[in-house]
Amino acid sequence: MPVPIVSFIGRSNSGKTTLIERVIPELVRAGYRVATVKHAGHGFDLDTEGKDSWRHKRAGAASVVVVSKGSLALFADVSEQLKVEEVRDRFLDASYDLIIAEGWKSEGYPKIIIVRDQPGEIAYASDGLLAVVSDKPINLPVPVLHLDDVAGVAALLIKQFPLRRREHEREV
């Protein structure tokens, strides 16, 4: 069974990253192994000019993998923007319990939308909407959690995406 994906969506500066950053430790405490995938609509650059990995890419390597004790980074050329399930299937193994995607509002993933000032933005997220997180009271037919109710958001995710037993943990 593929690792489930949930997408946190909302306008720029609505608090998506901060909420994800606060929810992850709650999930980890509950035993989850979490991966995140962030949508960068305007591109990004993680590599540092002059570093060996940057030099390898500049020389023409299509992919560069940097490995150290406890860490791995992959810099790869892609011909088109990948969907989260493509990232999952190509780069993440089955040891994860949940993938939290930041962005991808138009994809069919279950969604949590963060709403600050513009309740009208909920309309574009109605398909697969699990909950709304807001600092304002909103009356909707889905759970509405306060922006500071991190434990509530984590509990909703735990209920929606029960902890998966990994192969190496299964009883014989």
pLDDT one digit per residue (tens) for the chain, 172 residues: 899 999 999 988 889 999 999 999 999 999 999 999 987 765 556 667 888 888 888 888 888 888 889 888 887 878 888 899 999 998 889 999 999 999 888 888 999 999 987 655 555 556 789 999 999 888 888 999 999 999 999 999 999 999 976 654 544 4
Length of the chain: 172
Structural domains present in the chain: 5-169 (3.40.50.300)
Do strands 129-134 and 98-102 pair parallel, antiparallel, or not at all (unpaired)? Answer: unpaired
Residue 151 has, within 13 A of its CA and on its CB side, a CA count of: 0
Specify the pLDDT at position 171. Answer: 45
User: Per-residue DSSP letters for 85-114?
Assistant: HHHHHHH--TT-SEEEEE--TTSSS-EEEE
Q: What is the pTM of this model?
A: 0.84
Task: Give Cα separations from 16 to 6, 72, 147, 161, 168 (angstroms).
Answer: 13, 25, 10, 19, 33
The distance from CA 15 to its chain's CA centroid, rounded to whole angstroms, is 14
